[in-house]
Amino acid sequence: MNVAFPYSLDEQGRTSSAGWDDHLRQMLEQLLFTRPGERVNRPDFGCGLLDLVFGPNSPEVAAALTLTLSAAVQRWLGDVIAVSEVDVTSKDSELTVNLGYQVLATGVTTAATFVLPSVM
Burial readout 34-47 (b: 16 or more C-beta within 10 A, e: otherwise):
beeeeeeeeeebbb
Domains, the chain, with CATH or none: 20-117 (3.10.450.40)
Q: Per-residue pLDDT tens, the chain, 120 aa: give them.
A: 788 988 889 999 999 999 888 999 999 989 988 888 898 999 999 887 777 656 676 777 777 788 888 899 999 999 999 999 988 877 777 778 899 999 998 999 999 998 876 554
Confidence (pLDDT) at 120: 45
Q: What is the pTM of this model?
A: 0.81
Q: What residues does 82 pair with on adjacent strands? A: 102
Confidence (pLDDT) at 57: 67
Q: How far apart are CA 34 and CA 81, in angstroms?
A: 19
Q: Is residue 79 exposed (0-12), middle (13-18) or buried (19+ Cβ within 10 Å)?
A: exposed
